[in-house]
Amino acid sequence: MGETMITAHSGADGTKENSLEFVAYAMQTGADALEVDVRMGENGILILSHDKTDEDAVRLADVFRMMGKYPGMRINCDLKECGLEVAVRQLALISGLKTEQILYSGSVRPVPVTESCIWRDVEVFWNIEEYLPDIYKEQKEDLLFEQAAYKISRACRKYGIHTVNVNEKIATEEFIRVTGENDIDLSVWTVNDEERFRELLGQGVKNITTRNVKMACEVRSCEKRS
């Protein structure tokens, strides 16, 4: 089991969301990755925007150029609309990034392992609601979360995906146990509470996305020394 990744959520530690300020800050924190929201602008240029296209938004190409100075860091492109997988990968390669530096989450449409896929070399943190759309719509019992873990694990094998992206309330002990027994890793969002962060860190999830990046990095560092 490797060390748990820390991903800086857009707007971490009081920075402006989807801004170059946030990107520059995240790169200095000791986090392993940063997360940005990606859309296609009306002019066909990939931009950082959560809810709508904004022609004044930061261009993803500018972020990728900044990433080139930090080859050990990764960027989670949280796709806010369908069909962006190929365009983001192509832009990353043109910008000089290696495919292992980029991750996809959000509106990803996985391709079965039996079919060819030009972007299969990009790691996916598959949002569970993309496969189980009702998972967050009502209060669920632990048993239902356990059943969901079996369902998503089977689907991951079909699509060659190894990591599921879930809200921290779904990451129960049973959910973590079942996915782990099926060789599926967990990426958990958005964990801002220190006690909850410590708990998930101790359970060995693959990634924790947080707005409290400074806290997270300090806690992980202390745990490594202890």
- What pTM does this model have? 0.96
> Tens place of pLDDT for every residue, the chain, 226 residues?
589 999 999 999 999 999 999 999 999 999 999 999 999 998 899 999 998 877 789 999 999 999 999 999 999 999 999 999 999 999 999 999 999 999 999 999 999 999 999 999 999 999 999 999 999 886 667 778 889 999 999 999 999 999 999 999 999 999 999 999 999 999 999 999 999 999 999 999 999 999 999 999 999 999 887 7
With tokens 């806690």, the residue in question is 219
Provide the pLDDT for residue 139.
Answer: 60
Provide the pLDDT for residue 1.
Answer: 57
State the DSSP H helix or E strand holding residue 163, giving kind and residue range, or none if neither.
strand 163-167
Q: Which residues pair with 33 in a beta bridge?
A: 7, 74
Provide the pLDDT for residue 224.
Answer: 85
Contacts of 179 (CB under 8 A, 6+ apart): 149, 152, 153, 164, 185, 186
C-alpha distances (whole Å) from 152 to each of 104, 122, 173, 183 are 17, 19, 16, 12
End-to-end CA distance of the chain: 18
Contacts of 205 (CB under 8 A, 6+ apart): 4, 171, 176, 185, 186, 187, 188
Q: Which domains does the chain have, with CATH numbers?
A: 5-225 (3.20.20.190)
State the DSSP H helix or E strand holding residue 146, giving kind and residue range, or none if neither.
helix 142-159
- Pairwise CA distance, residues 211 & 51, whole Å: 19
Q: Are 178 and 151 within 8 A, CB to CB?
A: no
Provide the pLDDT for residue 130.
Answer: 97
Provide the pLDDT for residue 3.
Answer: 94
With tokens 């492109």, the residue in question is 77
- Pairwise CA distance, residues 49 & 60, whole Å: 10
Judging by DSSP bridges, how do beta strands 33-40 and 46-48 pair with one another? Answer: antiparallel
